[in-house]
Amino acid sequence: MENLTEKIDLYLTGGMTKFEAESFEAEMAESEELKSEVALQAKTYAMLESAAWVKTKSKVEALNRKSSKTLFMRPLLKIASVAIVLLGSSYFFIHQSYSDSNLYAAYATPHPDNLTVMGDDNNELSEAMEYYNEGNYNEADKLFVALSNDEELKDELLVYRFTCLLETNQPQRVIDLIQKMEESKLNSTIQWQLILAHLANGSTDNLTDLIEDFRTSNNGYKEVSSKELLEDLRSFWR
């Protein structure tokens, strides 16, 4: 567990190489338990840092009150209070844990297989879902594209296609495809994938508005996740 904690720490603080980070993210994609551990550790550090900031801020304010009669000291103490925050060794770490890429890693999960569990006799679909469940998203996507003319499965397959594109680092394609879509019977699922795509793409300027719109019509889908993501996007540490 100690080694895992150290490994997560390296990931969250940007201490891994690009290859190591990509490998670790691949591990998270395969393990809900690992993804939860990463999210928990990031939030734990944020809470500890927040508590430290409140304590430091109180001390600085007390010093300012004591030196209120010394005009020369007051601006120096204000500068010092800013320096404490900016130069704090853990500020960058906490800020990184709330980055777009780390939030995406914390909230993105492959859409569950709701097709082959129903015992579908479509051999091509079964093969596509086998690739999908193995995490071979490139091959799965090729088969989903080939099956896209099936009107009965069309809407269902879009959800799996978008997951494949997200899992192979193609969020802009997801955004482009969804923006061209008409309203779907799987609207809540696809809207959530659009939110994740913007997060993965780093195009988050209006993402809080998109999440608020999603929460008004999601019928409870991703209710907790969307609420927590909204709070994270509005966090002081962003």
pLDDT at position 31 is 86
Q: What percent of the chain has pLDDT over 70?
A: 74
pLDDT at position 74 is 47
pLDDT at position 45 is 63
Q: Which amino acid makes up residue 125?
A: L
Cα–Cα dist 228/52, whole Å: 22
pLDDT at position 208 is 96
Question: Is the C-alpha dihedral spanning 5, 10, 11, 16 positive or negative?
Answer: negative
Query: pLDDT tens for residues 20-67?
Result: 888 888 888 888 888 888 888 777 766 655 555 445 545 545 545 544
Task: Identify which of 218, 60, 144, 33 has the alpha carbon closest to the alpha carbon of residue 193.
Answer: 218
Is pLDDT larger for residue 210 or for residue 30?
210
- In contact, 193 and 166? CB cutoff 8 Å: yes
Question: Is the C-alpha dihedral spanning 81, 83, 84, 90 positive or negative?
Answer: positive
pLDDT at position 120 is 54
How many CB atoms lie under 10 A from the CB of residue 76? 11
pLDDT at position 20 is 87
Question: What integer best gives the mean pLDDT of the chain?
Answer: 79
pLDDT at position 8 is 83
Cα–Cα dist 235/97, whole Å: 11
Output the CA–CA distances (angstroms, integers) from residue 76 to 33, 80, 86, 118, in the order listed. Answer: 48, 6, 15, 69
Least confident piece of the model among 14-28, 187-201, 208-222:
14-28
Q: Which amino acid makes up residue 92?
A: F
Is pLDDT larger for residue 99 or for residue 143?
143
Cα–Cα dist 178/165, whole Å: 12
Give CATH for domain 116-233: 1.25.40.10
- In contact, 41 and 12? CB cutoff 8 Å: yes
pLDDT at position 27 is 87
220 pLDDT above the threshold of 80 = yes
Six token digits for residue 143: 């088969």
The pTM of the full predicted model, rounded to 2 decimals, is: 0.62
pLDDT at position 161 is 95
Per-domain residue ranges for the chain? 2-97, 116-233
118 pLDDT above the threshold of 50 = yes
Q: Please state the length of the chain.
A: 238
How many CB atoms lie under 10 A from the CB of residue 41? 17
Most confident stretch, 55-64, 72-81, 194-203: 194-203
Is pLDDT larger for residue 87 or for residue 98?
98
Three-class DSSP labels, the chain: CHHHHHHHHHHHCCCCCHHHHHHHHHHHHHCHHHHHHHHHHHHHHHHHHHHHHHHHHHHHHHHHHHCCCCCCHHHHHHHHHHHHHHHCCCHHHHHHHCCHHHHHHHHCCCCCCCCHHHCCCCHHHHHHHHHHHHCCHHHHHHHHHHCCCCCCCHHHHHHHHHHHHHHCCCHHHHHHHHHCCCCCCCHHHHHHHHHHHHHHHCCCCCHHHHHHHHHHHCCCCCHHHHHHHHHHHCCCCC
